[in-house]
């Protein structure tokens, strides 16, 4: 144990720049959806076992190689004449924090609290002068057995969770001296409003009227949050689907888990018998457009929508409501939201994550295809969103590589939950969740 009881000690900060300078004068305008995420940040941690090619110096070298492919990530924000965010691709670099943890990798995963895990992803919010602020921070933490945690923190203005994972995946490709499998597609005009827009987004209108835009007001609310990660094995996922499919044959793991945790939160809040409830669902639409965006599209392609369900109808009915809603989203929904945001850009931003309970569908991301060494995928990946408020978040992720014994629907899943502490205490002990046999990690107040 280190001095003061802290197990993570950050001892150095530096800047890593691209291995090849960017063309002078290059800029990158942010899209309408990018601007909507201005009050949020993204944080991810990838855990890697010890390996002969895994050391701090080589990680920084390959990070520099990777950044050449992502010129927007190494730039700095500024406002153009229309008061819209623009990235000056000036090779200013990303901030890198060096740290050590007083535990082996396996000890850490078995014993670390939620608050400790957040010490693995260093972050500094934007100050008064964005032109000197790094939009991306990387923390490289070495465990006592030479395992590593790679933490990424960045502004949500630049990227969504899918894109953030692909940045780390590209880093792994560069570290192995391999081709980048999913290269970045840097083309913000891909999401420009249509020539004849239809800015109809009643849910965003409702959300904007409910959300607080004042960070101080959010902090003053005094609600402590608690977080935990639930690992569901492939066998547990198969059992969930077997229970659902007689009533809802099209059920997916996301439908099952979103409904399971939504009902648990409702029970904890005393809303189980209150009739209908509402949940915000966040989905990625890269591959759901008529002309699909490349998987490596750089920026935000996350869609926020609202699903309602009758709690009294039971788990299968709630899961069906989630599944039909997600499956029923069409391209017009995405364009209408983009155009609604574009039409109201001048009225300011609001919190996209909150105040209502939000469930993020991330089980499509390629987190366990990240390889810093050939055949050595992460043993665990975590993700959380900064700046969220209100009733909490549920994030459905792919399972750790060791738990995946089958592809597709029958693969395992991980669920990260962050809730107000008074609700979390009940949800984390919920019998309906625990009887499914999840392994619980990184639990505690944050």
Per-residue pLDDT of the chain (446 residues; tens, 9 = 90+): 555 689 999 999 999 999 999 888 899 999 999 999 999 999 999 999 999 999 999 999 999 999 999 999 999 999 998 889 999 999 999 999 999 999 999 999 999 999 999 999 999 999 999 999 999 999 999 999 999 999 999 999 999 999 999 999 999 999 999 999 999 999 988 999 999 999 999 999 999 988 654 444 444 345 799 999 999 999 999 999 999 999 999 999 999 999 999 999 999 998 866 678 999 999 999 999 999 999 999 999 999 999 999 999 999 999 999 999 999 999 999 999 999 999 988 777 899 999 999 999 999 999 999 999 998 899 999 999 999 989 999 999 999 865 544 445 668 999 999 999 999 999 999 999 999 999 999 999 99
Cis peptide leading into 355, omega within 30 of 0?
yes
pLDDT at 414: 97
Sequence-distant (6+) residues with CB within 8 A of 79 are: 85, 86
pLDDT at 81: 85
What CA–CA distance (Å, rounded) separates 168 from 332? 31
Structure tokens at 282: 């966040």
First-to-final CA distance of the chain: 20
pLDDT at 212: 53
Largest CA distance in the chain: 62
What CA–CA distance (Å, rounded) separates 25 from 426? 54
Output the pTM of the full model. Answer: 0.95
Beta bridge partners, 396, equal 361, 415
Cβ-contact 28, 89 below 8 angstroms: yes
Cβ-contact 332, 319 below 8 angstroms: no
**Which of 40, 61, 201 has its CA nearest to residue 126?**
40
pLDDT at 272: 66
Count of CB atoms situated within 10 Å of the CB of 440: 13
**Which of 398, 308, 418 has its CA nearest to residue 353?**
418
pLDDT at 181: 95
What CA–CA distance (Å, rounded) separates 212 from 412? 36
pLDDT at 39: 96
Q: What does the pLDDT look like over 218-273, one tens digit per residue?
A: 443 457 999 999 999 999 999 999 999 999 999 999 999 999 999 999 999 988 66
**Which of 141, 153, 136 has its CA nearest to residue 10?**
141
Beta bridge partners, 445, equal 226
pLDDT at 409: 60
pLDDT at 267: 95
What CA–CA distance (Å, rounded) separates 18 from 69? 8
All domains in the chain, ordered by first residue: 3-191 (3.30.559.10), 202-445 (3.30.559.10)
pLDDT at 411: 86
- Tell me how far CA of residue 179 lies from CA of 59, 64, 252, 288, 318, in angstroms: 16, 15, 33, 26, 43
Radius of gyration of the chain from its Cα atoms, rounded to whole angstroms: 21
């Amino acid at each position: 144990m280190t001095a003061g009881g802290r197990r993570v000690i950050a001892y150095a900060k530096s800047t890593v720049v691209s291995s090849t300078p960017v063309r002078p004068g290059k800029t990158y305008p942010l899209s309408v959806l990018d601007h909507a995420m201005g009050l949020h940040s993204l944080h991810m941690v990838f855990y890697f076992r010890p390996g002969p090619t895994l050391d701090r110096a080589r990680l920084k070298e390959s990070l520099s190689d990777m950044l050449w492919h992502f010129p927007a990530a190494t730039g700095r924000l500024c406002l153009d004449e229309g008061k819209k965010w623009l990235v000056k691709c000036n090779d200013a670099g990303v901030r890198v924090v060096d740290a050590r943890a007083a535990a082996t990798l396996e000890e850490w995963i078995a014993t670390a609290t939620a608050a400790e895990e957040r010490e693995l992803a260093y972050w500094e919010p934007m100050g008064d002068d964005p032109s000197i602020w790094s939009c991306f921070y990387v923390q490289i933490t070495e465990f006592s057995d030479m395992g590593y945690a790679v933490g990424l923190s960045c502004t949500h203005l630049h990227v969504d969770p899918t894109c953030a994972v692909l940045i780390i995946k590209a880093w792994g490709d560069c570290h192995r001296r391999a081709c980048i499998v999913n290269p970045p597609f840097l083309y913000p005009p891909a999401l420009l409003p249509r020539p004849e827009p239809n800015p109809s987004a009643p849910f965003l209108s409702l959300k904007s009227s409910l959300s607080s835009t004042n960070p101080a007001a959010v902090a003053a609310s005094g609600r402590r949050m608690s977080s935990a990660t639930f690992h569901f094995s492939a066998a547990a996922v198969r059992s969930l689907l077997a229970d659902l499919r007689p009533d809802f044959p099209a059920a997916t793991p996301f439908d099952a888990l979103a409904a399971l945790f939504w009902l648990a939160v409702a029970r904890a809040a005393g809303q189980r018998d209150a009739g209908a409830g509402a949940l915000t669902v966040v989905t990625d639409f890269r591959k759901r457009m008529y002309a699909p965006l490349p998987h490596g599209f750089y920026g935000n392609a996350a869609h926020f929508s609202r699903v309602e369900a009758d709690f009294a109808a039971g788990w299968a009915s709630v899961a069906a409501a989630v599944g039909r809603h997600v499956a029923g989203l069409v391209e017009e929904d995405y364009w209408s939201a983009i155009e609604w945001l574009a039409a109201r850009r001048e009225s300011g931003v609001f919190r996209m994550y909150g105040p209502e309970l939000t469930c993020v569908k991330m089980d499509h991301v390629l987190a366990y295809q990240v390889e810093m060494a050939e055949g050595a995928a992460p043993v665990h990946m975590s993700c959380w969103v900064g700046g969220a408020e209100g009733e909490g978040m549920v994030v459905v992720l792919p399972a750790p590589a060791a738990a995946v014994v089958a592809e597709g629907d029958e693969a395992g899943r991980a669920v990260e939950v962050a809730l107000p502490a008074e609700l979390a205490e009940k949800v984390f002990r919920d019998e309906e969740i625990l009887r499914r046999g999840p392994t619980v990690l990184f639990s505690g107040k944050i």
